[in-house]
Amino acid sequence: MKESFLHLVWQQQLLDNKKLCTTKGENLKIHKTGFLNMLQGPDFNNGLIEIDHQKWAGNIEIHVKSSDWYAHQHQKDKNYQNVILHVVYEHDVEIFDLHSNEIPTLELKNFISEKVLNNYEKLMNNTQQWIFCEQSIKEVDVFKINNWLERIYVERLERKVEEIEKIYKRTDNDWEATLFLTMAKYFGGNLNGQLFLEAFSQVDFSIIRKQMVNRTTHSFLYGLLGLLKEEGVEDAYYQNLQKEFTYQKQKYQLGDLKKFQLHFYGCRPQNFPTIRLAQLIGFYEEHSSVFNKIIALGNNIDSYKDLFKVKVSNYWQEHYHFDKPSKKSPKQISKGFVDLLLINVVVPVLFLYQKSKGEDYDVLLELMYELSPEKNNIIQKFNQHGVETTSALQTQALLTLKKEYCDKERCAECTVGIELMKSQ
């Protein structure tokens, strides 16, 4: 028995016997269940109940057993001094508040709908399956699932923008700098993303912006990443960048820079940090005021794809490493990578921007519905169990659903689980 299930029973009043009574036999009526409290303190705030014709307004605390009140030390906590009802599955001890006043108790096991309880036990006993509801999720109305996925996606966005907000504050609320650094982190990938972010955060973005205007970004950014430190490299392009970066360091008085050990092993050649950085530089040398441009694009997905149609410089079309020529290839940003940039960079940054302005984010949801669904093992599993996906919004939401709800057994907080528990 999980407390979250009891929250659901209380909130939805999934009770068989409407003639409720406390463990003392007092008549009990529920006028308002209260509002679920996500912060410290009782589980539900501003409830309204009636005990033997006496109305009480206050908070409701829920536990599996009455003795959990003492296990959690609530009798010493002033946050719990306005609890008017203790709702438990099993009553095993009388409880008292901070001032030694006895708190009325409702024992739910005598009143929970048998149908609901059976559905809950049936669902939660499927421990050997990939997710608890894999055999029954297809029975839930598609409209309800899709509404739930949209809510979960917004929840995912809220968490994702927390890191972006830190970047925004570090850059003195500069949206262009925030977009660039977030973009750089994503271009660096799982292995090098944090290194890209740290390297380019060492200097004020205004300096990087000047290099973009002067088209000296290659020397500056490769230099900040520590890729221009080798001596005796017999490559004219490398030597020119090295000389230019030495001048830039002196001009901007950069002093000692952090040392970075970039990862090449484990990356496919097209994902080498040298190539990803060349693509990032190509993009920013092609476009100025990128943040203002993406604001204007709205949910026009074709315009976004045109925006990212850039090539790397001639040198990097023929190299993966400095001083090691390779077969020439354009090394353009792939369609798949553009989709990932929209999902993981553009939409989250714009979400934070619109949130800061108090604007709605419907246009971003529309953009996510336009993007193709992602393909991975988790999405494939959901598809096999009857959950069809037609957009990146749905696949992003399903990743969160699996990690934050299914894996943590939060079925009683999930629309799918709730619908199955309430089903006939």
Task: Determine the average pLDDT of the residues in 282-297.
Answer: 93
Could you read off the pLDDT of 327-377 as tens digits, one per residue?
Answer: 999 999 999 999 999 999 999 999 999 999 999 999 999 999 999 999 999
Q: What is the token pair recorded at 195?
A: 């290194």
Q: Which of 396, 390, 370 is nearest to 304 (CA)?
A: 370
> Do the bridges between strand 54-65 and strand 324-325 make them parallel or antiparallel, or are there none, so unpaired?
unpaired
Whether residue 16 is predicted with pLDDT greater than 80 in this model: the reply is: no
Contact 421, 116 (CB under 8 A): yes
**147 Cβ neighbours under 8 A, 6+ residues apart:** 415
pLDDT digits (tens, 9 = 90+) for 186-243: 999 999 999 999 999 999 999 999 999 999 999 999 999 999 999 889 999 999 999 9
Question: Is there a contact between 206 and 298 (Cβ–Cβ < 8 Å)?
Answer: no
Contact, 84 vs 56, CB < 8 A? yes
Task: Name 85's bridge partners.
Answer: 60
Q: What pTM was estimated for this model as a whole? A: 0.85
- Please report which confidence band the pLDDT of residue 256 belongs to, taking 50, 70 and 90 as the band edges: confident
If you compute the radius of gyration of the chain from its CA atoms, what whole number of angstroms results?
A: 29
Of the chain, the percentage scoring pLDDT greater than 70 comes to 100
* Nearest-angstrom CA–CA distance, 391 and 123: 28
What are the residue boundaries of the structural domains of the chain, listed by start?
Answer: 3-124, 171-333
Residue 86 near residue 69 (C-beta atoms within 8 A)? yes
CA count, 13 A, side-chain hemisphere, 397 = 23
What pLDDT, on a 0 to 100 scale, did the predictor assign at position 17?
Answer: 65
Would you place residue 124 in the very low, low, confident or very high pLDDT band (cuts 50, 70, 90)? Answer: confident
Looking at residue 15, its pLDDT comes to 86
Q: Which of 240, 406, 236 is nearest to 323 (CA)?
A: 236
Average pLDDT on 313-327 reads 95
